[in-house]
Amino acid sequence: MTTVAILGGAGPQGRGLARRFAAAGVEVILGSRTAERALAAADELTEEVGGEITGADNGTAARVGDIVLVVVPWEGHAALLGSLAEELRGKLVVDCVNPLGFDKAGPYALPVLEGSAAEQARALLPESTVVAAFHHLSAVVLDDPDVDSIDADVLVLGDDDVAVDRVIDLAGMLPGVRGVFGGRLRNAQQVEALTANLIAINRRYRVHAGIRVTDV
Amino acid sequence: MTTVAILGGAGPQGRGLARRFAAAGVEVILGSRTAERALAAADELTEEVGGEITGADNGTAARVGDIVLVVVPWEGHAALLGSLAEELRGKLVVDCVNPLGFDKAGPYALPVLEGSAAEQARALLPESTVVAAFHHLSAVVLDDPDVDSIDADVLVLGDDDVAVDRVIDLAGMLPGVRGVFGGRLRNAQQVEALTANLIAINRRYRVHAGIRVTDV
């Protein structure tokens, strides 16, 4: 039985993923800066969804999870992962973070020294296996109990084929969602940054856009 | 009546676009380094498709076209556009170029000083209106007469709403294709670079992948 830890799990994206995984029968541990915050979010979700959701501080969640999703704001990404290298040793770490800025003209991609959030995670966690995924799912749609099926694919990027396949399977547990191999980790930047385009699309068309890969 | 010029129109992507636009009743002028090469490609296509396809050197094609698609290899992008600023003055220029490199591990995005091919075009063509589009359509699918309908959206990026809407309409003339606003030009880099991921997907799944935007 796989336990999925979600670091930053009390935020909207983390909550939404936790809700869906728990509903699919996956054991979920929400991580947050404080155990209190995580436990409050976990209790709230358990009441709504049922299933196996618990909460802890990010470090404990990282230690408990078999697969660890990183869903923290970009601003806290490097500091958090740098502090958890020990807890995340040997784990499958799924980076879901989009380094974006916002100004009057809307969203835009922030430059990342390592190339992408996922490659920064790999640099900070040399003894973990890093995969990038879950960038393009709308937090609003994920966290909306009235949405039965999510019309979107999840691009899964990584250099370890076994880890990639595990995350493709994990993505497929979200209702309506399909995991699709999306390339090696060095091609993660544009996948993360594309979220800026999806936000621009959302604003123009007043939708919650996702993407589907055709012909696969 | 709009004439579409396609610079680099004798290459596979350019040929494919020319075929589809001509079949949709659009007047097309293929541009190539030499008029001979362009005319040969145009003759070949006219025989296959019928419609209004002619050929010329890139400079003449740029002068004749109302909308000018740039479909040249990245290596020749800056030199060509730098030499055609005069011909392209006042025109709607649609940049379709993906700055990609290839090595043993496959495709990857090349860094571009200006941010993206489209922003390089804008810098080189200050008196043209630059829009970015048509990055993700498979040349093989475009140029295959047995494919009646192409299962893909075209992301259209730009800062001039009227120009963007013209290109959205143009994309919609390709059978099965839908043009979707994809953000401002400063968010073009990741759209261009995503082609590396699509190529990785093509290799893994042995397909000709495209993308669809959901909920729009």
pLDDT digits (tens, 9 = 90+) for B142-166: 999 999 999 999 999 999 999 999 9
Please answer whether residues A166 and A95 qualify as being in contact, where contact means their C-beta atoms are separated by less than 8 angstroms: no
pLDDT value at residue A181 = 98
* Predicted pLDDT at B50: 86
Residue A38's H or E segment, with its range, is helix A35-49
pLDDT tens across A125-154, in order?
999 999 999 999 999 999 999 999 999 999
- Between CA B8 and CA B14 the distance in angstroms is 6
Q: Distance (Å, rounded) from C-alpha A185 to C-alpha A20?
A: 25
Q: What is the mean pLDDT of residues B174-202?
A: 98
Query: What is the C-alpha separation between A98 and A84, in angstroms, rounded?
Result: 20
Q: Does A105 touch chain B if contact means CB atoms closer than 8 Å?
A: yes
Residue with structure tokens 């963007």?
A: B164
pLDDT at A172 over 90: yes
- Would an 8 Å CB–CB cutoff place A67 in contact with chain B? no
Beta pairing, strands A210-214 & A92-95: unpaired
Bridge partners of A103? A106
pLDDT band at B51 (very low <50, low <70, confident <90, very high): confident
- Could you say which of A107, A109, A215 has the minimum Cβ distance to residue B151? A215
For chain B, give the mean pLDDT: 97
User: Looking at chain A, which runs of residues are DSSP E strands?
Assistant: 3-7, 27-32, 53-57, 67-70, 92-95, 100-103, 106-109, 129-132, 153-158, 178-183, 210-214
Please tell me the distance from the alpha carbon of residue B16 to that of residue A36, in angstroms, as a whole number: 58
Q: How many CA atoms, within 13 angstroms, populate the side-chain half-sphere of residue B189?
A: 23
Q: Is B124 helix (H, G, I), strand (E, B) or coil?
A: helix
Average pLDDT over residues A54-83: 98
Closest CA to A135 of A92, A97, A94: A97
Q: Which residues contact A144 (CB under 8 A, 6 or more apart)?
A: none
Rounded mean pLDDT, B6-35: 96
Res. A1: pLDDT tops 80: no
How does residue B1 score in pLDDT terms, banded at 50, 70 and 90?
Answer: confident
Residue type, B143: D
pLDDT digits (tens, 9 = 90+) for B77-92: 999 999 999 999 999 9
Does residue A124 surpass a pLDDT of 80? yes
Which residue, among A187, A205, A211, would best test binding to B if mutated, counting the most B CBs under 10 Å from its CB? A187
As for the ipTM of the complex, it is 0.96
Task: Mention every residue, 6+ apart, whose C-beta is less than 8 A from residue A78.
Answer: A120, A124
Q: What is the pLDDT of residue A84?
A: 98
**pTM listed for this prediction:** 0.97
pLDDT in tens, A44-61: 999 999 888 999 999 999
Report the DSSP beta bridge partners of residue B132: B95, B157
Token readout for B143 is 């140029």
**Mean of pLDDT over chain A:** 97
The whole-angstrom separation of Cα A15 and Cα A18 is 5
Contacts of A200 in chain B (CB under 8 A): 181-184, 187
The reply to whether B1 touches chain A by the CB within 8 Å rule is: no
pLDDT tens for each residue of A185-199: 999 999 999 999 999
Is 80 exceeded by the pLDDT of residue B121? yes
Of B180, B200, B208, the CB nearest to A215: B208
**Rounded CA separation B138/A152 (Å):** 21
Ordered domains of chain A (ranges, CATH): 3-205 (3.40.50.720)
Whether B94 and B66 have beta carbons less than 8 Å apart is answered as: no
pLDDT given at position A52 = 87
CB of B110 within 8 Å of a chain A CB? The answer is: no
3-state secondary structure of A29: strand
Pairwise CA distance, residues A194 & B176, whole Å: 23
Structure tokens at A67: 């697969």
Contact B181 A201 (CB under 8 A): yes
A63 falls in which pLDDT band (50, 70, 90)?
A: very high
